[in-house]
Amino acid sequence: MSSSHLAMWASPKPSLLPDLDSLSSCPRSPFLRSAPNPFHSPSRPSTAIHCGLRELRGRIDSVKNTQKITEAMKLVAAAKVRRAQEAVVSGRPFSETLVEVLYNINEQLQTDDIDVPLTKVRPVKKIALVVVTGDRGLCGGFNNAIIKKAESRIAELKTLGLDYTIISVGKKGNAYFIRRPYIPVDRFIEGGSLPTTKDAQAIADDVFSLFISEEVDKVELLYTKFVSLVKSDPVIHTLLPLSPKGEICDINGVCVDAAEDELFRLTTKEGKLTVERETVRTPTPAFSPILQFEQDPVQILDALLPLYLNSQILRALQESLASELAARMSAMSSASDNAVELRRSLSIVYNRQRQAKITGEILEIVAGADALT
């Protein structure tokens, strides 16, 4: 089954439930009434369908098979989003330890006049936007939300009279910007099924070269932050220049580094899948105040800041993947519910027609018996 057919089932809105009339190519009869659809407005005139029992049985089987597909896709997405969450949490101690090291080095260098290129703040004339999208569809409005966020930011930059360039990450974003040649794109990058340090390094090398060569004065990262299974927020964070303390800051300069993660576990309750949530805060060992560095702190800072940049890009890719899988899980759940509703409506029409056929045959037998007597 093609993705264009599955997209019809993946709508999270009840109003997009496929109508029986749209699925039927059979001639319509004014003498038969179809089952009322509660999601249709009363002002719309109802048109009844008149199909043979064999055609209706085929349609019911088709809906049943589609329901099995969407339920399987939901379970696959649930398993993958769990692994994506674990990847985010497992990388947190490394990132937080880097923050501690950067903070303490910065404390020692407060009295020194040092020049670290990645933390140098320049007058902004041109901005690079790293837009992270997904590689696949059937995930509701996930890709549209981050693309609209990018379009909104581009409009703001045009209003301020600033130049911009795009670094597109993900097949959906690549296809969107390729169809719009008037938007300047520096590079197209295709993401993998599971983000790796190699993928993050490819993005980090590109933004690093743009910023160090002063082709751009600021780099912003647009991705979808994973909040919960039913909520994901498109966010914009300032990637470069980096904060000397190693914090994540939004476009307004407010540091918004995440402190907690919400994990979920799929369980069964009364024969149905349920979700148990728990909040996880990964402890980080305290940085020793008596620790001394053998090398020059400036050299250590030059080595750690690119590493921290890479880790933050990797975390954004992992959160974007978790958000995409959660959106796909929710979309497939809605598609399964729509399939159940459509199957029920078709079964009602099928049972009515079968009953009408049986009643008609009984009337014919009774009329024939009366004619003989």
Helix H, strand E, coil C: the string for 76-114 is: HHHHHHHHHHHHHHHCHHHHHHHHHHHHHHHHHCCCCCC
Polymer length in residues for the chain: 373
Q: What does the alpha-carbon distance between residue 218 and residue 259 come to, in Å, rounded to a whole number? A: 25
Q: Give the other-Cβ count within 10 Å of 76's Cβ.
A: 14
Q: What does the alpha-carbon distance between residue 287 and residue 107 come to, in Å, rounded to a whole number? A: 13
> How far, CA to CA in Å, does 71 sit from each of 68, 77, 78, 339?
5, 10, 11, 10
Would you put residue 214 in left (φ > 0), alpha (ψ -120 to 50) or beta? left
- Tell me which residues are annotated as active site: 139
Q: What does the alpha-carbon distance between residue 106 and residue 80 come to, in Å, rounded to a whole number? A: 39
Q: What does the alpha-carbon distance between residue 307 and residue 370 come to, in Å, rounded to a whole number? A: 94
Residues 6+ apart with CB under 8 A from 304: 98, 101, 102, 105
